Structure 1
Amino acid sequence: MQAPKAKKIAQLLETHGHQRTDNYYWMRERENPEVIDYLNAENEYLKTNLKSTEEFQENLFQEMKGRIKEDDESVPYFKSGYFWYIKYEAGGEYPLYCRKKGNLDASEEIFLDVNILAEGKSYYQVGGTAATPDLKTLAFAADEVGRRIYEIHFKDLETGEILSDHIPAITGNFAWAADNQTIFYSKQDPDTLRSYQIYSHKLGTSTETDILIYEEKDEEFSCVVHKTKSEKFILIHSESTISSEMRFLDAAAPTGEFTLLQARIPHLEYAADHYHDHFWVRTNHKAQNFKLVKAPIAAPQMENWEDVIPHRETVLLEDFDIFSDFLVVQERSNGLCKINIKPWDGTAGHSLEFDDETYTAWISTNPEYDTPILRFGYNSLVTPASTFDYHMVTKEKTLLKQQEIVGGYDASDYTSARIWAKASDGVMVPISLVYKIDKFSPDGSNPLLLYSYGSYGYSMDAYFSSSRLSLLDRGFVFAIAHIRGGEDLGRGWYEDGKMLKKRNTFTDYISCAEHLISEKYTSPEHLYAMGGSAGGLLMGAVMNLRPDLFNGLIAAVPFVDVVTTMLDETIPLTTGEFQEWGNPKDKEYYEYMLSYSPYDNVEAKDYPNLLITSGLHDSQVQYWEPTKWVAKLRELKTDSKLLFLHTNMEAGHGGASGRFNSLKEMALEYTFLLYLEKLI
């Protein structure tokens, strides 16, 4: 089948006296039938060219689905006299929200069945859920498009009735006041989708009478509302990429005035929780890797902050949790997570011990204060997701649940490791990798998938995936490059991969790829790259810089038209991203972004085999970015390798809803890799 050929309509774009011609700018016209026709033609082109793999794709989907325990449930947590949990039933795409009163032997109450709510809908996603303090009314947010525009619904937990009250077109973020009647929620700008307003709504009243509590005027900031762990305060948290500001209100006085905790200052970030007569604040004030301070509620401003855990040059303070007798801190050192227990009585603290060379550990759901039990999560590239209870006095660790792999899984068949690659400027970059022992040959012949993200300070930890076994069992090595732009090695690691240092992200990834080749884990003929969203930008940049390194590349919902998008403040995310990428209205940033923007740097040269995915309703990376990119690649590339665009016409940034539907998209991606490796 002939590849689709997009028509060209020259659009002249001029900034700082520099002119660019964008022949595919017209693809922004979402309602234009020609745009939809082009997307459908690309989907059909992919389907036709991979028709011989359809049976394999279905078998692969069933293989991955078959590893998932269909009748599964989360570990219950105790709060307000109930054990709360989520479960799935065999054949069900969506979760059931459940609770048991008093103990786990009590009768089960299914208070929300998402399978029923999703009937007849091509997409359905429940966001936040929260019950009133008296547990009589449930609020839940639902998105029926995939654009992350939610509607809050209310359910009477005593009668089971869905109430007529509903709040449309909101973010899905909300918090109940202590009066069991007032709910605070955040609302987004209808065009940019920036969360910028906080309203209060009283049950039984029209949304037309909802009160605007707070509006975030600064377009680089967004705001959300939530409660402290103590549930005594409602917090409004305004945040940009480099600054924070919080306000608090007694949850028992929902009509009162919010009090400013600490006014915003450029480059000051903080987040607070409440315990006794203080707010406990994680902040970067004179602390690049963050520290923990306490602030008296009566006078919480920065001049009254008292250090609890001071700043350390080599330890990133990521999170904390407060118990009646203990402070629990989640930290990151040398790229690995640590969980430290500190008794309030001043006696010696201790850390949890983990065995894997590369792993992920985190503080889990701990809603109760008065308990010596800490719940935490753990997994690694070879250890399925595990939930533990840890007695902070006796140091006894109890495994409550480990992800069950249907059909069996023997971790000893696989091995994981952490190795280090030298970046172009001499910095050492960690790589986590895993492979099946009996499938690996140390001669460079193994196919290898190198995954990464590298933006927003998001640490890409080593994690287990049952679906990934479908690659490992067929001889693939899977690797994660912990490149700059993430926060894997501390805050400085992030700051060295953003703004005018963004190119470090791309060159780090290339150095990791070269190291894996030189160490004979793979070769350019068998090396594959993958990343999504901002990781899709990474894919576009590295394939422009070093297309010779990769046989194939998968870019999922990729952010690739960087300059044009960042110049357009009418579309979602742009203004809030200026402190991540820079503002191209400044000539220095314009020229720097232009130097790496994947769309602007497509050239007449050979590229790897490419699979690019997108969502028509994507609110974060607009569908036209990958669409334009593919059209331009088709026009200019000089090779005859595969180039496919797959657009989910019914989903957004996160792909298909439901726990199994998303596996079909993964089956397509894996099929693409295995097809290139001639393993089909």
Structure 2
Amino acid sequence: MTDNAASVQPPRALREPRIRRHHGDEFADPYEWMRAKDDERVTAHLEAENAYTDARTAHLEPLRQRIFDEIKDRTLETDLSVPARRGDWWYYSRTVEGKQYGIHCRAPIADPEDWTPPEPTAGEPLPGEQVLLDGNEEADGLEFFSLGTFDVSADGRLLLYGIDATGDERYTLRVRDLETGVTLPDVIEDTFSGAELSPDSRYIVYSTVDDAWRPDTVWLHELGTPTASDRTLFHEPDEKYWVGAGFTRSERFLVIGLGSSITSEEWLVPADDLHAEPRVVWPRTEGVEYDSAHAVVDGEDVLYILHNQDALDFELVRVPVADPGGERQVVIPHVPGHRLLGVSTFRDWGVVGYRREGIARIGMLDYATSSVREIPFHEPLYSVGTAGNPEWAPPLLRLGYGSFVTPSTVYDYDPATGSLTLRKQQPVLGGYDPADYAQARVWATAQDGASIPVSLVWKRSFGDAGATPRPVHLYGYGSYEHSIEPSFSVARLSELDRGVVFAVAHVRGGGEMGRQWYEDGKLLAKRNTFTDFVDCASHLVDHGYTTPEQLVAEGGSAGGLLMGAVANLAPELFAGILADVPFVDALTTILDPSLPLTVIEWDEWGDPLHDPDVYAYMKSYSPYENVREGVRYPRILAVTSFNDTRVLYVEPAKWVARLREVDADAMLKCEMVAGHGGVSGRYNTWRERAFELAWLLDVLGVA
């Protein structure tokens, strides 16, 4: 930090205490006034925070530019995705150097019997290319652009697309006639993402949200009619449940699905009679989750249902569509510790995803024998899943694969022969060689004796990780059973090539080690998430991987809550903490059922509004309320977005103000036109990441 940067004074937020009273407890909150988004004082304060952060980090501009250039120089800017077949067309997207957004295209299939995708040349369109939607044209004049719906009708004639122009995740739907290029008069405002056209191209099925940003209603719009006459297909009044809908791959049924964090329910509507009354698959039972996939076996319509009724890590059963509540045929029995993740069905076979020994795997399901044949991969750490398989009866299965050192890779798998055909691997320019990098998994011991996996990736030329203390960037999340998979990042190379070891702490609350791993890091066991991360950091220090002066932590959203909690628990362990859109005022948010997502979140965190024990427990760890006096905090950078509807900007704004009261070196960066995922556009995203990495490397003393 330069002397000039160090002399810049941070903004001091106005203190305007408001008393929160619950369960006999009073909490005086001096910064709750910041929640008033339309208050000019709020925008003025956020702009002052941005100005302060700009001044404090101005000396990092050359490093930011170098990192941005490194990301850009390693990226093939003009590129194409592997075409995926649907109907008479190959569908793909391409990027063009200098343009922020992707261009969605298709090209006609020359030979209906040929399932080998064409091998396009970057910068050259496929023969007969038709541009369906150019994100750069759609984003022209907009400060933010996000595509939340992109669906082509089964006959290939219509394109349904939805655009968010502010970052609040409310989309405007439009329909384009791909034969004429004319945009139809049907415009539907304020929808949720993921709308679909019906198989007969007559209808749009879409969802809308309530005042708390919960998708609560599924609608049916007939093309060519006023939206005022749209029919409600399903409305869910219970505030704990989200609702959405989509057609089965077979195009036989519309599935309306609703779910909370712990309970789900599905309803079927025949795709050829969308005005029919929905029929429930299994009536909801508190604590039971399930999802279904339609298949035809021996001429009978069946559902493969993945569920956790008396099966913690889930079981796969088969039931007839005509009587889904009747006798269940067990296809894959429950095995403790082997978490079944999902099932996809095709005409001739199924695909099962599952997690074993902390690694997500994939296997082919034989309908006749119910046997599963795992598709083998040989790296110690990797991620794999299905990708781009819209057809009902393909001879090949499209897979996406990658690891910390292997760039994103597309394979086609032949179930008949068991062979994998490489279709494309993400180009990494500048002479990238995976052999120059290494990945490994080590195990930390938690306070209660649990073994916590920690993934590591580093550049070999700096020596083996752990051979000598090195700068370490430790990432964590640990909520919603979300697993941090081994995945490749071009931006991460800017750290690794400077000698930084990147690490992931797979703490409880995530799903890496099965459903129990999640259960042991939620509700009244949530503290395990935080102490696990601290124990992982301590393991890396105690075993010579790093030192506290060389250790920076990062997490976002619920992982930002983790960052705030560990900053209070063990500030001495870290040189810096990067918190992206951090959920750091958790108790205040979860106490207010009128705020976005609150009620549905009670299954994850508990209900402090009605349960005094939950209130006391959450108050004991909520980062904003537990900022400590008399300790030296690590340097802290909080990044947020003004239009975020998931974690409101007010949480990190209040947190940073409170940290300043105890003389912590804390900064706030607020994107004034962005959402939960940050800025839009690939170059803007690269610049945003370059800003964060430059700060992180500065904390570590690495240029």
TM-score, normalization by structure 1: 0.97
Letter in 2 for 1:602: V
Report Cα offsets for 1:396-442 as digits up to 9, x if no partner: 11111111012220111111101111111111111111011112464
SS in 2 for 1:262: coil
CA-CA distance at 1:325 after TM superposition: 3.1
Counterpart in the other structure of 1:192: 212
Q: Look up the SS of the partner of 1:660 in the other structure.
A: helix
Q: Work out the CA distance in 1 between the residues paired with 2:150 and 2:504.
A: 33
**Aligned pair 1:595/2:620, yes or no?**
yes
What's 1:204 paired with? 224
Shift of 1:506: 0.6
CA contact (8 A) 2:60 2:695 kept: no
Report the CA distance between 1:576 and its aligned residue: 0.7
| Partner SS for 1:304 | coil
2:4 corresponds in structure 1 to none
Runs of 4+ in 1 over 6 A off after TM superposition: none
Q: Please state how far the C-alpha of 1:128 moved relative to its aligned partner.
A: 1.6
Decide whether aligned partners of structure 1 residues 170 and 348 sit closer, same or farther in structure 2, where only a CA change above 3 A counts.
Answer: closer
* Corresponding position: 1:618 with 2:641: no
| Mean CA deviation greater in 264-273 or 319-328 | 319-328
Any gaps of 5 or more consecutive residues in structure 1? none
Question: What is the identity, as a one-letter code, of the residue corresponding to 1:60?
Answer: I
Report the Cα distance in structure 2 between the residues aligned to 1:414 and 1:390, rounded to whole angstroms.
Answer: 27
> Which residue in the other structure is 2:323 paired with?
299
Give the Cα separation in 2 of the matches to 1:297 and 1:342.
19
Contact 2:160 2:196 in 1 (8 A): no
Deviation at 1:444, TM superposition (A): 4.5
After superposition, the Cα gap between the structure-2 partners of 1:679 and 1:18, relative to the gap in structure 1 and judged at 3 Å, is: same
1:540 aligns with 2:547: no
| Partner in structure 2 of residue 457 of structure 1 | 481
Matched, 1:6 2:18: no
| 1:356 corresponding residue in structure 2 | 379
Amino acid at match of 1:175: E
- Tell me the alpha carbon deviations over residues 273-322 of structure 1, each in whole angstroms, 9 at most, x when there is no partner: 11121111111121111111112111112x43321111111211112222
Q: Does residue 1:565 correspond to 2:589, yes or no?
A: yes
CA distance in 1, matches of 2:102, 2:691: 25
| TM-aligned CA deviation for residue 443 of structure 1 | 5.2
What amino acid is aligned across from residue 588 of structure 1 in structure 2?
D
SS in 2 for 1:30: coil
1:91 Cα deviation after fit: 1.2
Matches within 5 A, 1:403-552: 403-440=426-463, 442=466, 444-552=468-576
Q: Which amino acid aligns with 1:598?
A: P
User: In the alignment, is the contact (CA less than 8 A) between 1:175 and 1:234 conserved in 2?
Assistant: no
Q: Distance in 2 between matches of 1:473 and 1:214?
A: 53
Distance 1:292 1:23 in 2: 52
Deviation string 1:312-341 (CA, Å, 9 cap, x unpaired) is 112111122223332221110010122122
Q: Does structure 2 retain, via aligned residues, the 8 Å contact 1:390–1:398?
A: yes
Between the aligned partners of 1:346 and 1:222, the Cα distance in structure 2 is 36
Q: Deviations over 1:140-195 (max 9, x none)?
A: 01000011011111101111112221100010222222331111110001x21100
Rounded Cα–Cα distance in structure 2 between residues aligned with 1:490 and 1:366: 27
> Aligned residue for 1:91?
98
Give the percent of matched residue pairs that are identical in Structure 1 and Structure 2. Answer: 40
Once residues 236 and 411 of structure 1 are traced to their aligned partners in structure 2, the CA distance between those partners, rounded to angstroms, is 43
Q: Confirm or deny that 1:630 pairs with 2:656.
A: yes
Amino acid paired to 2:287: H
Pairing partner for 1:28 from 35, 40, 49:
35
Label 1:243 to 1:203 Cα distance change in 2 as closer, same or farther (>3 A): same
Amino acid paired to 2:536:
C
Q: Which amino acid aligns with 1:295?
A: V
Partner of 1:664: 687
1:262 to 282, 305, 311: 282
- 1:643 is displaced (CA, Å) by 1.6
After superposition, the C-alpha distances for 1:111-163 in whole angstroms (9 at most, x for unaligned) are: 11111000011101111211222221111010000110111111011111122
CA distance in 1, matches of 2:486, 2:26: 43
Alpha-carbon distance, 1:106 to partner: 4.1
Correspondence for 2:72: 65
CA distance 1:167–1:669, change in 2 (3 Å)? same
1:80 paired residue number: 87
Kept in 1, the 8 Å contact 2:549–2:700? The answer is no
Question: What does residue 369 of structure 1 align with?
Answer: 392
Matched AA of 1:600: E
Output one character per residue of 1:19-49: Cα deviation in whole Å (capped at 9) or x when no partner.
Answer: 0010001000111111111111111111111
Specify which of 40, 43, 52 is matched with residue 45 of structure 1. 52
Question: Structure 2 regions of 5+ residues with no counterpart?
Answer: 1-7, 111-117, 119-125
**Distance in structure 2 (CA, Å) of the matches to 1:344 and 1:279:** 12
Alignment-mate amino acid for residue 224 of structure 2:
G
Alpha carbons 1:375, 1:387 under 8 Å: kept: yes
Instruction: Find out whether 1:284 has 2:308 as its counterpart.
Output: yes
1:176 to 197, 213, 216: 197
Moved more, 389-398 or 469-478: 389-398
The one-letter code matched in structure 2 to 1:266 is E
| Equivalent position SS for 1:274 | strand
Does 2:66 align with 1:55? no
Provide the residue aligned with 1:164 in structure 2. 185
Residues in 2 aligned to 1:486 and 1:43: alpha-carbon distance in whole angstroms? 33
What residue is the counterpart of 1:236 in the other structure? Answer: 256
The correspondence of residues 313-392 of structure 1 with structure 2, limited to 5 A, is 313-346=336-369, 349-392=372-415
Q: Is the 8 A contact 2:249 2:346 kept in 1?
A: no
User: Given that residues 443 and 522 in structure 1 are in contact (C-alpha distance below 8 angstroms), is that contact kept between their aligned partners in structure 2?
Assistant: no
Does the 8 Å CA contact 1:152/1:172 hold for their aligned counterparts? no
2:61 aligned counterpart, secondary structure = helix
* CA shift digits 1:646-669 (9 cap, x unpaired): 000010110011122111111111
CA contact (8 A) 2:331 2:370 kept: no
Whether the 8 Å contact between 1:462 and 1:480 is mirrored in structure 2 is no
Aligned-partner Cα distance in 2 for 1:35–1:63: 36
> Distance in 2 between the 1:284 and 1:221 partners?
18
| Count of equivalent residues | 675
Distance of 1:350 and 1:124 partners within structure 2: 42
Quote the Cα distance in structure 1 between the aligned partners of 2:556 and 2:468: 26
The amino acid across from 1:69 in the alignment is L
Match of 2:237 in 1: 217
SS of match in other structure, 2:68: helix
Cα contact 2:312–2:516 (8 A) shared by 1 = yes
The 2-side partners of 1:371 and 1:94 are apart by: 30
- Higher mean Cα deviation, 9-18 or 668-677? 668-677
Which residue identity is paired with 1:437?
R
Is the alpha carbon distance of 1:378 and 1:198 closer, same or farther for their aligned partners in structure 2, counting shifts above 3 Å? same
2:293 and 2:343 in contact (8 A); partners too:
no
Aligned mates of 1:14, 1:348 — CA distance in 2? 57
CA contact (8 A) 2:552 2:700 kept: no
CA separation in 1, counterparts of 2:175 and 2:101?
Answer: 19
Q: Please report how far the alpha carbon of residue 395 of structure 1 lies from its aligned counterpart in structure 2 after TM superposition.
A: 1.5
Q: Secondary structure at the match of 2:79?
A: coil
Q: In the alignment, is the contact (CA less than 8 A) between 1:289 and 1:490 conserved in 2? A: yes
Cα pair distance change 1:357/1:165, threshold 3 Å: same
Q: Is the 8 A contact 1:123 1:650 kept in 2?
A: yes
